[in-house]
Amino acid sequence: MHDILIEEKILSENDAIAHENRHAFAERGVFVINMVSSPGAGKTTLIERMTPILLDTLGRFAVIEGDLEGDLDAVRIARAGVPVKQITTGKACHLDAHNIAHALPWALEQDAGLLIIENVGNMVCPAEYDLGEDMKVTVLSAAEGDDKPLKYPAIFDASSALIINKIDLAPHTDFDIERARANALAINPSLQIFETSCRTGEGIEQWCAFLASKTLALRGSVSTSR
Partner 1 sequence: MHEMGIAKSLLEIIKREMKKSKVKRLKKVRVKIGELTAVEPEALRFCFEASIKDTDLDGARLEIEDVPLTGKCHDCRTRFRFHHFVSLCPVCGGKKIEKLTGTELDLVSIEAV
Q: How many residues are there in the chain?
A: 226
Contact with partner 1 (CB under 8 A): which of 75, 157, 201, 209?
A: 157
Asked whether position 1 contacts partner 1 by CB under 8 A, the answer is: yes
Asked whether position 147 contacts partner 1 by CB under 8 A, the answer is: no
Asked whether position 11 contacts partner 1 by CB under 8 A, the answer is: yes
Cβ-Cβ contacts under 8 Å for 207 (sequence gap 6 or more): 50, 163, 194, 196
Cβ-Cβ contacts under 8 Å for 28 (sequence gap 6 or more): 108, 222
Q: Half-sphere exposure of 14 toward its Cβ, with a 13 Å CA cutoff? A: 15
Candidates 6-14, 63-71, 110-118, 214-222: pick the segment binding partner 1 (CB under 8 A). 6-14
| Shorter beta-carbon distance to partner 1: residue 118 or 203 | 118
Cβ at position 133, least distance to partner 1 in Å: 17
Q: What is the CA radius of gyration of the chain?
A: 18
Find, among 69, 37, 63, 39, the residue nearest to 50 by Cα.
Answer: 63
Binding mask 51-90 for partner 1 (x = CB under 8 A): ----------------------------------------
Contacts to partner 1 by CB under 8 A: 1-14, 92-94, 96, 124-125, 127-129, 150, 152-155, 157, 186-189
